Structure 1
Amino acid sequence: MPEITAAMVKKLRDETQLPMMECKAALKESEGDVEAAKRALREAGKKFMGKRQDRATEEGRIGIFASIADGVGAMVELQCESAPVAANEEFIQLAEDLAKQLATGPGAKTPEELWAQPSPSKKEMTLEDQRDELQNKIREVFRIARLERIDAPAGGFVHMAKIGVLLEVEGGTDELAKDVSLHVAAMNPRATTKEELDPEIVSKERELQKDRARQEGKPENIIEKMIEGRMKNFYAEHVLSEQPFVKDESQTVGNFAKAGGMKLKRFIRWQLGETSSSEAVDAA
């Protein structure tokens, strides 16, 4: 058996952030093979973390990869146990790698399918290997809560790691799509266009506005005309294409997109920790 030197142990310790004695034992078991020792440490950590899977994961971040030129977009919600870990550089990289692989790889319907795929940033490692290595350092549970892929030109934006928007478009540029996604994150519209709003919600709003007009003593013959004006305000509050653009309120988001040669198709907006399914709003 080759000699296990202090330098070898230190090198493995620096690379894995695990206790010296664990690193030394792994090197002895692998007869000095550093890569084999790393694999053994990952497996040991995986078994340890397997016993902690019932722990709550209320923190985390949303990872996004989107490209108009490549005609694809993806979003992944990666959860962890604490806020400091959510801000860890390697955790951020893992979230970004998950989204990139989901967008540019063969796709995945479940977290298990995605974990089994290659890591975009770690050569010769799967995303699961990448996860296990990081979990072994940090000793927190990581969990993919949601994943979504769009097989069409898309843009995206993440606000403070906790609100993510994926936007399907036709035409335009990545920067333009990112600006609209930023708007969606900030203003949380219900639908992309007026036609997509739930007819029941629109009907209830119309009746509400009629009742208000009657209470104001308005004559019946002008109430309908008044309602149309008031409904514009309702649409401007809830419909993406009708909302004043956050970066320039002198124009609507629809006009901003149109001026850049971009058609808005649908958006998906997530907030970290939501229990509801993802919202995807199709354009007419």
Structure 2
Amino acid sequence: MAEITAAMVKKLRDETQLPMMECKKALNESGGDMEAAKQTLREAGKKFMGKRQDRMTEEGRIGIYSSVDGGVGAIVELQCESAPVAGNEEFVQLANDLAQQLATGPGASTPEELWSQPSPSQSGKTLEEHRDEIQNKIREVFRLARMERVDAATGGFVHMAKIGVLVQVEGGNDELAKDVALHVAAMNPKAATKEELDQEAVEAEREVQKERARSEGKPENIIEKMIEGRMRNYYAENVLEEQAFVKDESTTVGKHAASGGMKVGKFIRWELGETSKAEEAEPAGAAS
């Protein structure tokens, strides 16, 4: 058996960022074979993390990949256990890699399918192997809670890691599309256009405005005209195209986009942990 030197242990520790005693034990078990020792550490780490899968993952970040010229985009929610880990550089890279691979790769219908694909930033490794290496060092559970790919030109923006937006666009450029995504993150519109609003909600609002006008003593023959004016305010509050642009309130988002030759389409807006909160709020026995 090869002699296990302090230099060998230090080299393995530097490459894996794992405790010295674990590295020494792995080298002893592998007879000094560095690659075999790394595999031993990976397997031990995976076994250890497998016992922790029931732990809560209430922190994390939204990962985004967007491209106007590339005609594709993706958004993922990668969860972890603590806020410091959510800001860890390697965790941030993993979230971004997941989004990039989902967008530019063959696609995936399940987290397991995506994890098995190549890591964009780690040559020769899968995303799962990349994840396992980080988990083995940090010893926290990572969970890919949701993911979505958009096969269209997109703009993206992430606010403080916790709010992520992906906006479909036609024309324009990445910077303009990012500005619109930033607006969606800040103002949280209900729909991109008036046509995409929940029409039942629109009719309910219209009836509320009619009753308000009647209570003000307005004659029926002018109520309809009044309602159209009041509904414009409703649209300006809830529709992306109609909202005052957050960076320049003298114009609307639709007009700002048009000035750059861009048309805004549907959008996805996620907040970290909102699916978990929805599941907690769902009554027992409710249909899934």
State the match for 2:95 in structure 1. Answer: 95
Name the counterpart of 2:19.
19
Taking the aligned partners of 1:69 and 1:39, their CA distance within structure 2 comes to 41
The C-alpha deviation readout for 1:60-82, integer Å capped at 9, x for no partner, is 00011111111110111000000
The percent of aligned pairs where both chains have the same amino acid is: 78
Q: Distance in 2 between matches of 1:30 and 1:265?
A: 57
Pairwise CA distance, 1:14: 2.1
Task: Measure, in 2, the Cα distance between the counterparts of 1:139 and 1:112.
Answer: 20
Question: Which residue does 1:69 correspond to in 2?
Answer: 69
Q: Does 1:115 align with 2:110?
A: no
2:261 aligns to what?
261
Deviation at 1:37, TM superposition (A): 1.8
State the alpha-carbon separation in 2 of the partners of residues 105 and 38 from structure 1: 28
2:241 alignment partner, SS class: helix
Aligned-pair RMSD on alpha carbons? 1.2
Equivalent in the alignment of 1:58? 58
Within the alignment, does 1:105 sit opposite 2:115 as a pair? no
Q: Could you say which residue in structure 2 is the equivalent of 1:281?
A: none
Displacement of 1:144: 0.3
* Corresponding residue number in structure 1 for 2:132: 132
Q: CA deviation at 1:152?
A: 1.1
Structure 2: where are the runs of 5+ without partners?
A: 280-288
CA deviation after TM superposition for structure 1 residue 11, in Å: 1.7
- Read off the aligned partner of 2:268 and give its amino acid letter: I
1:123 deviation in Å?
A: 1.4
Residue equivalent to 2:45: 45
Query: Could you tell me how far 1:184 is from its partner in structure 2?
Result: 0.3
Q: Separation in 1 of the partners of 2:244 and 2:185?
A: 14
- Per-residue CA deviation, residues 197-237 of structure 1 (Å, 9 max, x unaligned), is 11100000000000111111111111111100000000000
Give how far 1:18 is off.
1.4
What's the secondary structure of 1:37's corresponding residue?
helix
Distance 1:251 1:235 in 2: 15
Deviation of 1:35 after TM superposition, in Å, equals 2.8
Alignment of 1:104-183 (within 5 A): 104-183=104-183
5+ residue gaps, structure 1: 278-284
**Secondary structure, counterpart of 2:158 in structure 1:** strand
TM-score, with length taken from structure 1? 0.95
Deviations 1:69-100 (A, max 9, x none): 11110111000000011011111011111111
SS of corresponding position for 1:69: coil
Tell me how far apart the structure 2 counterparts of residues 65 and 108 of structure 1 sit (CA, whole Å).
Answer: 15
Residue by residue over 1:13-32, the C-alpha shift from the partner in whole angstroms, topping out at 9 and shown as x without a partner, is 12222121110121223333
One-letter code aligned to 2:217? G
In 1, distance between residues paired with 2:31 and 2:117?
A: 29
Whole-angstrom CA distance in 2 between matches of 1:40 and 1:193: 55
Q: CA deviation at 1:42?
A: 1.3
- Please, which moves more after superposition, 161-170 or 4-13? 4-13
Aligned equivalents of 2:93, 2:38: Cα separation in 1: 20
Match in the other structure for 1:222: 222
SS of the residue 1:95 aligns to: helix
Task: Determine the structure 1 residue equivalent to 2:193.
Answer: 193
Matched residue SS, 1:213: helix
- 1:132 match: secondary structure: helix
